[in-house]
Every structure is written in structure tokens, then in C-alpha cells.
Amino acid sequence: MSPLSPRCITYFDCLRFLLAQTVVVGHGFGFFFGYWGGFFPSKAPYIQSIAVVGFFFVSGFLICRSAVANIKYKGGDYVRYYVDRLSRVYTTLAPCLIFVFLVDLFFSYQVSDFELGDNLTISTFFKNLLLLPSMPFGTMRPIWSLMFEWWIYILFGGVVFFRKNWIFSAICIGVGGYYTWRLQDLSATRLLN
């Protein structure tokens, strides 16, 4: 497997940027123009739902390709894979949680009926920090997506590196699969209520 060309990398970066912006714009229209009558409209899925699936698909392809290339060219192993995933996720997650806490705390004092401030608890903060299935911390609603991605990363790493350390991989597959399905159940429960 040869490395991706600079042109191909630029294409995938632009595609992911476009999909991410489609999610933001779609949610913005929903927020400002109030079309949240259900998860899917009656005739077609929301554009942001299609963009999220597209983003997951493209990211999954790139991560899979990266993991295989690291194994082939750099002798990559599960330690390198998980350190890479940890550093990519937590360099933004931890500062975002702190930022959301400060902003939500400020607004909870300014707005008397600040509903989203109900989840500003230490327990929710640490569950979100560990990406465990839970309610989003304060106004940090998009974290549900990161929770899915994180546990799929764990599951995927277990599958890819199964031959190198089958005990560790079996644990990753079990824990990753459990929390991925747990998130699915939690999301479905929230939609029904």
C-alpha cells in the first residue's frame, strides 16, 4: 500500500472540512429556525445527519489506512495506535470541557432558567472526560459523536492488532463493543423520551 499523494490528502481534508461544516450549518438552521420536530423529517433525513455519516465513513477509511500503513512501514503496534488516538482526542477534549464549564457556569448565573446547566456536575464532567456513555456535560451536546468514535477506535484497534497481543485485543474488542452498543442504547432512549 503506497502512501496517499499530497493531492489526495488535500482532497480528503477538504471533504472532511465540508462535511463538518455541513453538520454545523444544518444544526444552526435547526436551532435558529426550529425544525426539531423529530430525529428525521417526514420525507428525507436532515442534511447534518447525512454529513455525520459521511464524516464517519471518510474518517474510518483514513484511520484504517493509517493503521495499516503504520504497521507495514513503521512497524506500528497497538501502543503507538492508542497513544496516537489518545493524543488526537484529548488535546482538544480536555480544553473544550474546561471552556464549556466556564462559559456554562457564567451563563447559569446570568440566565435564570438555564436548562442545559443541569448537567454541570462533577460526575458528568468525568464521564465525558473518560468518554463513557452519559449525558453531555452542560452545553457540550456534540460529545455524543466523539463518544461513538472513541469506542469504535478502541474496538478497531483490538481487531487490527489481535495477532500481536490477543489478550489485550480481546479486552479492547469487548470493552469497545460494549460501550459502542451502550451508547447506541442510550441515544435511542433519549430519542424516545
- Please state, in angstroms and rounded to a whole number, the distance separating the CA atoms of residues 2 and 59: 18
Stretch (H or E) spanning 15: helix 6-33
Query: Among 15-19, 35-39, 58-62, 110-114, which stretch is predicted with the lowest mean pLDDT?
Result: 35-39
- Please state, in angstroms and rounded to a whole number, the distance separating the CA atoms of residues 122 and 124: 6
Residue 54, amino acid: G
What would the pLDDT profile of 147-192 be if each residue is shown by its tens digit?
888 888 888 888 888 877 888 889 888 888 888 777 666 655 554 4
- Please state, in angstroms and rounded to a whole number, the distance separating the CA atoms of residues 103 and 44: 35
What would the pLDDT profile of 48-72 be if each residue is shown by its tens digit?
888 988 998 898 888 888 888 877 7
Q: What phi and psi, each to the nearest 5 degrees, are found at residue 46?
A: -60, 145
The pLDDT score that the predictor gives to residue 191 is 41
Q: Domain ranges in the chain?
A: 1-76, 91-193
What would the pLDDT profile of 103-150 be if each residue is shown by its tens digit?
888 887 887 777 766 778 899 999 999 998 888 888 887 787 888 888
Q: Is the pTM of this model over 0.75?
A: no
Give the cell for residue 178.
460494549
Burial 93-111 (b: 16+ CB within 10 A, else e): beeebeebbeebeeeeeee
Closest to 170 in 3D by CA, of 153, 155, 151: 155
